[in-house]
Amino acid sequence: MAISQKRNKDRVYLDFITQVRQSIQRSRYQAARLVNKELLLLHLKIGSLLNERVDSEGWGTMVIRRISSDIQRAFPGIKGFSARNLFYMLLLYREYAPQLVQTVSALIDKPAAGKEKKSKKQLVQAVSALVPEKKFAAAFFNVGFSHHMVILSKCKSPEERIFYMTKTAEQQWSYRILDHHIDAKLFRKQGKLQSNFRKILPAKIQQQAIDAFRDEYLLDFINVHDTDNENVLEQKIVGNLRKFLLSLGNEFAFVGNQYRLVVDEEDFFIDLLFYHRKLRCLVAFELKTGKFKPEYTGKMNFYLSALDDLVRMPHENPSIGIILCKEKSKTIVEYAFRDTYKPIGVATVKYTKELPGKWKGFLPGPDALKKLMN
């Protein structure tokens, strides 16, 4: 057999295997979606049954615990029907059934007329105005029950819940990643980065770039001390690179740290360099442990000029620079941007989650803890 014929047969075989693999992957994904939808319909149905009895019979915690035990006894080894989960099924029905009533009408009865509170009607109207029913249903059924539990427990407004549902479906977040983004207040922080993007970037990617970054990043996965300098901070981020990438978003790909640029035989080093797949551009991060200073923009402007001339590919968009610092003055940042001609944003970082209000008065602050340790 001629070599060319053998290569052609090998190519045909590899193409066939690729098609089969893709078909299997699509089928598994569709099967998982169908299973998830059926489970959510079941949870909504159980929630509707509980809702009827809670209203008519006054059932409370003790009865729901008994229901959980009886389900476990009837189906030994079954998971997902703890008393806690049953409470969430009830909450799932009460919060979302009105938006899904046409989609699941075959399985879930509509709420009895006149029993809906005014506040509930207002919530439904707000959700309906924000997202058409079909779009809401698509987002709802693409999110697992564990994700819904996190969203229900941590998000109060309809807009915020829909935002995280949609993001979870689009980005395929695990519930732990979802939990991190909620703690990082992505709903409020995304698209709020202080930048000069609208003035500098091409119109076609301005909004995408604005949406790709946030005003504050939660890096609660690293332990940072007041005495740490930028090099130590960088090493801690690189040591937790996977978590840092998750905090940035799944469109970012890591290029390198201390990325070397040679300009006129002199070496310059960018703290962290990434590539954003959707924006199709390089993104340089400079890390600062203190307050923002105006001279940081000049340095970043230089890095971006060098990246665009020496590293950027012809088909790629202009490189973007993000300066991460502990705190900033918006007025000083605005003045620093005034005569800058490269796309730069300034964001702050936070290293710890906020304590719930009820605990703030009971736990000592950082200064008090230092005294106790000493």
374 residues of the chain, pLDDT tens digit each: 566 676 777 778 888 888 888 888 888 877 888 888 899 989 999 999 999 888 888 888 899 999 999 999 999 989 999 999 999 999 999 988 777 655 554 444 444 444 444 444 444 444 444 445 567 777 888 899 999 999 999 998 888 998 999 999 888 888 889 999 999 899 988 888 999 999 999 999 999 999 999 999 988 888 887 777 899 999 999 999 998 998 898 899 999 999 999 999 999 999 999 999 999 999 999 999 999 999 999 999 999 999 999 999 999 999 999 999 999 999 999 999 998 999 999 999 988 765 445 444 444 454 544 444 44
Q: Which domains does the chain have, with CATH numbers?
A: 6-183 (no CATH), 194-350 (3.40.1350.10)
Predicted model pTM: 0.68
Provide the 8-state DSSP code for 131.
S
Q: Which of 201, 208, 222 is nearest to 321 (CA)?
A: 201
CA atoms within 13 A on the CB side of 71: 15
pLDDT at res. 357: 52
The set of residues, in sequence order, having a beta carbon less than 8 Å from that of 55 and lying 6+ positions away, is: 115
pLDDT at res. 306: 97
In the numeric block, which tokens belong to residue 46? 């159980």
pLDDT at res. 150: 94
Amino acid at 58: G
The CA distance from 218 to 351, in Å, is: 6
User: Looking only at Cα atoms, what is the longest distance across the chain?
Assistant: 82
The CA distance from 263 to 302, in Å, is: 10
Q: Tally Cβ neighbours within 10 Å of residue 26.
A: 10
The CA distance from 358 to 365, in Å, is: 14
Q: Which of 37, 66, 52, 138 is nearest to 94 (CA)?
A: 52
pLDDT at res. 203: 93
The CA distance from 78 to 70, in Å, is: 11
First and final CA of the chain: distance in angstroms?
Answer: 81
3-class secondary-structure state, position 106: coil
pLDDT at res. 147: 95
Any idea which residue has 């469109």 for tokens?
A: 251
Q: Using an 8 Å Cβ cutoff, are 322 and 285 in contact?
A: yes
